[in-house]
Structure formats: C-alpha cells, structure tokens
Structure 1
Amino acid sequence: MQILPAIDIKDGEAVRLFKGDFARKTVVNSDVLGQARIFADAGIKFIHVVDLDGALDGRATNRDLIAALKVATGLGVEVGGGIRTLEQIADYLAVGIDRVIIGSMAVKDPAFVKTALEQFGADRIVVGIDAKNGYVATEGWLETSTVDYISLAKEMEKMGVSLFVYTDVDRDGTLTGPNFAHYERLVAELTTAKVIASGGIAELSDLTKLQKIGVAGTIVGKAYYSGNINLDQLKAFED
C-alpha cells in the first residue's frame, strides 16, 4: 500500500483543516518547500498536494509553488484543488506533476473527465470523490450534490478511471479514524479501479486495517503533523 503524506496549501503555507472548514485552519509549516524536503529526506516517494486556494478560486492558484516543490524535491506528486480546465491539467503535467486530481468537475461535467482520460491517460488522471454523509461534496467542500459516492465511482470507472481518492469530509482532520465501511463498500463495488483512502487517519493501526480492506494507498495528514505517526513509521509501513 502506498503512503502519501499530505501538504495542503493555503495562502502559501502548509495547513490542516478540520472537516474541510476553512475557518478552522492550522498552519503546520509556513515553508511549503521545506516541508516537502522533510518528506523527501525521510525517503518518502510520493506526496498528495492540495491547492486549497485553488479549490475556492476554481483555478490553479498555487501552481508556481507546486511546480517549484516538484523541481526542488523530485518527489512523486499528485495535485488536486481547482482543476477546472484541460489547460490546467496539461500545464501541471508539463512541469512534472505526476498525477492530477479532478474533483468537482467529475460531478458537474463527466464528459470533462472522459476528455481528460483520452488526452492524458488514466495513469495521469485521478478522480477525487469527497463525500458528506455519502453524498459528493464539491467546490472546495462548500456544496453537497445529490450524487452518492458509489454511483459516481462506478460511472467514472466505466468511463475508464483507474484510480480514485476517496475522502469522508466529516472524518477529515478529526483524528477519529477513517470511515472503514465506506472503503470496504467502495473496494467491493469497483471491478478494476483502485482506491486511495483519505481522511480521519489517527494511528498506525488505521493503516493496517485499510491495507487489509484492499485500498491501493492512504493519504496521511493530521496524524503525521500531530505526531501520532512519524515518518519512520510511514516509510517502514510502505516498505
């Protein structure tokens, strides 16, 4: 199982939110590049980066900082937040970003995902499914749709999506443990696509449970920044 430490960027700093609430922001490192170097120096191979400003703005607000992060560290990087156009995706890939996450647009314009898959390939395009009470949240988690997470995942899989990041918004940043039932169902319902778990990781045992469920990867944010899980443990777990 791949372990992906998270860097969420707001106002040029690495932050953590509580349940996606922008008013409940904690700065975990004012130096985003410095935080990325910490991960690289620890032997981490891949990180998950979210442009929180971009999620609100609907554009790649922190693109230059994220591009600099990739160049400075050589880490594998997947990026989400504010991805609304094919031009944004092409630009991120052109500066070396490995995977681009499409979130809100998967609900609002499924044809956009199909075009992105055709143009860039399923190994570069990830669909991010963020849910509140099982229903997909969009626009930086500020809006909730009437689409349930399983229906969207199955629709996207038929379209050719091979990798999802699934986040239970109500668990994100809470250190209360992942929504294991949702991951069990999602893994069982999908036939070929893989799932990266995100949200609620509190301790090392959560990673073990997720691995047993069969997720392909897990994103670790607050559990690392709060000291519950250290980088040596994450690296050893992935190895």
Structure 2
Amino acid sequence: MQKKVYNENPLEVAKQFEASGIIRLHLVDLDGARAGRIINWKVLENIAAKTTLAIDFGGGIKTEKDIEIIFDSGAVIATIGSIAIKQAELFYQWLQKYGGEKILLGADVKDEKMVIHGWTEQTETDIFDFLQENINQGLKQAFCTDVSKDGLLQGPSLGLYKKIIEKFPDLYFIASGGVSSLNDLVQLKEIGCKGVIVGKAIYEGKIKIKDLQI
C-alpha cells in the first residue's frame, strides 16, 4: 500500500490545529501499530509539551507499561483497539484500573463485524455485542471506524452510527471514517454523535478548519 505524507512535522500540524481552536487531538502511532509496540512516544511528548491540546493516543499499546508510557508522555486518554478483542480480560482490567474516562475503545468494523490487526483480519464478533460487553465492564467512550468507508471521502456510515447511538444512548460515541464535508459533520451531530474524527478531509482541503466554527 502506498503511503501519503501530508506533513513531515507532526508538531507543526498540531500547532496549526491548536491555533484554529481545536482542543482535542487524536494521535495514532502507525509505526507502533505495525510493530506491536509504542514507537513514536517522543512525538506525543513533544506535542503535549508544546501545545495545550488534549491528546488521545493509540497504536502499539499492548501492555500496562505502554499505557503508563503514554500517560507519562502527556496523553490524557489511551486508545485501545485489537487488545480489547484478543485479550478481553486484560482490557477489562485496564478499564477498572484507569476508569472509563481514561480509556477510549477504537472499534474497526465491516458489515457490523469487528475487524482487527490493521483491518487485515475480520472476526465474527458483532459490534453491538462487543460494545455491550465492554459497557458492562465500565466502558464510557468509543469510536467506530467503518473500514469500508475510511479514507474514501464518500461519506460516513450514518445508518450504523445511528443504530449504535440508539442502542447505547449513554455511551460517548465518536464517529470515524468517510467524512468528506461540513454537511457530513452536521448530519453526524444530528444523529447524536458526541464527536467526529476528521483527518484526510482536512489534509485534502475538503474541510477548512476555519469553517468548523469551534
């Protein structure tokens, strides 16, 4: 897969977001996700030290030590993905130790089934059952990425997200994937999303930060 680099300096991008009124940054260690261990914690540390952004950080978090590293490096929330499926009991322990406010569950989905390991492995785990099990263990916030939509700029999975929000009204739910316009953001807000992860649409100029009226 060909990668596209939009900016070689993550701190510069973070400062641009901060200057525009953004207060929350979703930061993913793609190298760490591939390697199965945190690699870019220094980037996190640098952004946390030089901006006021509230950062949730994910990618490569496999152990409790990893969580401690990212919190010590300035993240306010740890984003957890595959571990929550592959080692559910461990994830439950983290929820109980750190609390639902400090853990953000990242759920990658295709056809309402969970997908793991960088979208390479589809499971038979139903997204609704998965969320219910974790809510029972203290989960308070989650984002869901429809992998069939992500990066295509063809619009988000409104139907899926609406079903999740209706079924779990107390969950702080964040949409991810497919966002390509301000209208998408309006629609996501209307169905009850508490937040939206926007990346490519900003980098490709489809959405101007100044138009977000933050």
**Structure-2-length-normalised TM-score:** 0.96
Aligned to 1:228: 206
Give the secondary-structure state (helix, strand or coil) at the position aligned to 2:6. strand
Q: Which residue number corresponds to residue 163 of structure 1?
A: 141
Contact 2:77 2:104 in 1 (8 A): yes
SS in 2 for 1:167: strand
Gaps of 5+ in 1: 1-22
2:144 maps to amino acid? Y
Deviation at 1:24, TM superposition (A): 3.3
Relative to total residues, which structure has the larger strand share, 1 or 2? 1
- 1:98 paired with 2:76, answer yes
Q: How does 1:50-65 map to 2 (within 5 A)?
A: 50-65=28-43
Number of residue pairs aligned between Structure 1 and Structure 2: 214
Q: Is 1:178 the counterpart of 2:156 in the alignment?
A: yes
Structure 1 position 33, deviation (Å): 1.1
Kindly tell me: are residues 131 and 24 of structure 1, through their superposed partners in 2, closer, same or farther at Cα, counting changes over 3 Å? Answer: farther
1:47: how far off? 0.9
Q: 2:7 aligns with which of 29, 33, 36?
A: 29
Once residues 140 and 82 of structure 1 are traced to their aligned partners in structure 2, the CA distance between those partners, rounded to angstroms, is 11
- CA–CA separation in structure 1 for the residues paired with 2:148 and 2:61: 22
Please report how far the alpha carbon of residue 191 of structure 1 lies from its aligned counterpart in structure 2 after TM superposition.
4.1
Equivalent residue, structure 1, for 2:192:
214
The answer (yes or no) to whether the contact 1:52–1:140 under 8 Å persists in 2 is no
Normalising by structure 1, what TM-score?
0.86
1:95 deviates by: 2.1
CA apart distance, 1:133 = 2.1
Contact 2:41 2:73 (C-alpha < 8 Å) held by counterparts: no
Q: Partner amino acid for 1:103?
A: G
1:83 maps onto 2:61 in alignment: yes
Q: Distance in 2 between matches of 1:185 and 1:160?
A: 20
For 1:204, which of 152, 177, 182 is the aligned residue? 182
Give the ranges of 4+ consecutive aligned residues of structure 1 lying more than 3 Å apart after TM superposition: none
Quote the Cα distance in structure 2 between the aligned partners of 1:170 and 1:51. Answer: 21
| Secondary structure at 1:150 match in 2 | helix
Structure 1: which amino acid aligns with 2:164? L
Identity of aligned residues (%): 35
Indicate conservation of the 8 Å contact 2:44/2:73, yes or no. no
